[in-house]
Amino acid sequence: MKPIFYLTLLCFISSFHFLTAQEQNTSLRAYEILQSKCVNCHSNENPRAGLDLEGEGSTLIERANDVYQKLVGVSPNNSVAKAKGYKYIQKGRIDKSFLFKKINNGLDKSMALEEGEESPMPLSGDLTDVEKEIIRQWILWGAPQEGEVVSEAMLKEYYNGKGEASFPNEIPAAPDPSEGFQVKMGPFFMLPGGEKELYLKYQLDNETQIEVNRIEVKMSNYSHHFIIYDYGTPATQVPEGMRFNQDHTDDVNFVVSVAEPRDVRLPNKTAFFWDKNHVLDLNSHYINYAADKVYQSEVYVNIYTQPNGSAAQQMHSNLLPNFNIRIPNNGEVVTHSSKLVIPKQLEFFIPQQVYAWTIGAHTHKYGVGYKIWTMDDNQEKEDFIYDGSCPGGIPGCPAPFFDYQHIPLRAWEDFLPLNLGNGLFHEAKYINDGPEPVQWGPTSNDEMMLFGLFYVTDTTGLNLNLTTATKEIDPIFEGVKVFPNPMQQQATILLPADLGNVDMSLYDMLGKEVRQQTNNGNAYIRLEKGLLAKGMYIFTLTDEQGRTYSDKILIE
């Protein structure tokens, strides 16, 4: 998914009036806080531990810039912190910013000073929570030297009892280091009724390739969605720190998307393969539903790994959108549909033949339905495989109900073979009773139409009993049976007595037709193994009226 998002420009104020309008320049405000609370121990004349927070220069701006150069991207003198790769300030990463760890003192409960990192700062006159938060937000937003990244007035509201936290009681526990690690995005703050969708480039510290077999996302019910992407390159062109603009190129891949807290456990013998020093892009979308409280938005992600070589197959994932949607505000049902076909020349994007593990859809608040079908050789709708209005996404439920905030995922325990060369047909329905027409866009006041597909490209080593799609079976085929199944040398496909002449086509898992037979008016078709290789096959029956039926058969 590569829609274009617009960057919200930060206000640039170059005036010296920051003492009376401090919220206009967060970098200078952070410098002022350090002067008021830390300079007694870290002055020009007495730079404790070699750290000068007063700075040199004839003007305030010069001194602030001098301190900036001594902090941002600079390794600390503390040998323990330096060995961990910390900087005094690392743009976008409070967990790697040693200065923040020293002044944190319990503000961020996910991090604390560790053995060998010495005492907290300052030794006298502790910073207030608002002051510490200003510095934390400044770092999280990439430590810009210009502009405002957070409203100090809003932070005062939050810390003076008019705030609500994503995790008010205790933060989610991280995995044991032997099992994995925790990634955190945020916090970021919103006024009552506010909404933000942010991105954060996040480089991991894995020294070798890792196999990720589980991703557990912890967020509050104020979250609209959380998505993990990854970059196929170091993404040096993408700025450090939280940002509004997407900055996605063709090198960005989709990993996982959730609309509510979820523990994504990949099937046995599969994993995401992440390269050394893997670079993620975290996308968090929160809405403040509170009428009178500032909201603190956070997401914690527990990433679990397994020993390299444990996975027989790599798990892949893609977001597949239809950008061409427009929903007038007439209060009537509007249907949008799209055929997704993977031509052979685009197999580098998604192979034509895959084996689906899960499918899940996504709309915003005007969505009232989402369905997906496979397509046949003529690219017409064939098998009905997903209904977002049914529990588990399984079509055919007696009381369909579409909840756009909790659209289900459909999972196939034994995977679903999909011929994407024929394609998938997806259809979404909307009712716009809002104030104006909407089209594709990132906020909750816009709309979306997309689904996510998790798949492998080969099933070797997974020990699967491959499934086929959920069929809308024509009553004429009721009673079709295959025995024995699995077969060894021969099997019989038993047909209803009044079905008439029927043609049978047998396909391998690559979608290649390997056998054609007819019943010659009999109530059965005899299938001989002959030269067929062992494995799973799909057979299709077609009667004289063109009606079809498909099922699977395993040759041992």
Q: Which of 445, 192, 418, 202 is nearest to 320 (CA)?
A: 418
Residue 250 has pLDDT above 70, yes or no: no
Token duo for residue 440: 């594709």
Using CB atoms within 10 Å of the CB of residue 327, give its burial: 0 to 12 exposed, 13 to 18 middle, 19+ buried: buried
* Confidence band of 466 (pLDDT split at 50, 70, 90): low
C-alpha torsion sign, points 411, 416, 419, 424: negative
Token duo for residue 398: 């007696």
User: Of 184-188, 341-345, 376-380, 393-397, which one has max mean pLDDT?
Assistant: 184-188
Using CB atoms within 10 Å of the CB of residue 529, give its burial: 0 to 12 exposed, 13 to 18 middle, 19+ buried: middle
User: Of 255-264, 426-435, 539-548, which one has max mean pLDDT?
Assistant: 426-435
What domains sit in the chain, N to C, each tagged with a CATH number? Answer: 17-160 (no CATH), 176-311 (2.60.120.310), 312-472 (2.60.120.230), 475-555 (2.60.40.3760)
Which pLDDT belongs to residue 22? 40
553 touches 485 (CB < 8 A): yes
Which pLDDT belongs to residue 125? 67
How confident is the model over 251-261, as a mean pLDDT?
Answer: 88
* Confidence band of 78 (pLDDT split at 50, 70, 90): very high
Which is more confidently placed, 401 or 467? Answer: 401
Residue 63 has pLDDT above 50, yes or no: yes
**How does pLDDT run across 475-489, given as a tens digit for each residue?**
778 778 888 888 899
* Confidence band of 170 (pLDDT split at 50, 70, 90): very high
Which pLDDT belongs to residue 16? 31
Which pLDDT belongs to residue 496? 86
355 touches 466 (CB < 8 A): yes
Q: What is the mean pLDDT of the chain?
A: 89
349 touches 251 (CB < 8 A): no
Identify the weakest region by mean pLDDT among 264-273, 337-346, 440-449.
Answer: 337-346
**How does pLDDT run across 103-152, given as a tens digit for each residue?**
999 999 999 899 999 889 887 668 999 999 999 999 999 999 999 999 99
Which pLDDT belongs to residue 425? 97
Using CB atoms within 10 Å of the CB of residue 372, give its burial: 0 to 12 exposed, 13 to 18 middle, 19+ buried: buried
How confident is the model over 23-36, as a mean pLDDT?
Answer: 90
* DSSP three-state, residue 190: strand
Residue 2 has pLDDT above 60, yes or no: no
Residues 119 and 44: their CA atoms lie apart, in Å, by 21
Which is more confidently placed, 444 or 105? Answer: 105
User: Which neighbouring-strand residues pair with 451?
Assistant: 320, 361
How confident is the model over 422-426, as a mean pLDDT?
Answer: 95
How confident is the model over 219-235, as a mean pLDDT?
Answer: 91
492 touches 524 (CB < 8 A): yes
Which pLDDT belongs to residue 354? 94
Side-chain half-sphere CA neighbours of 112 within 13 A: 6
- pLDDT over 70, % of the chain: 93
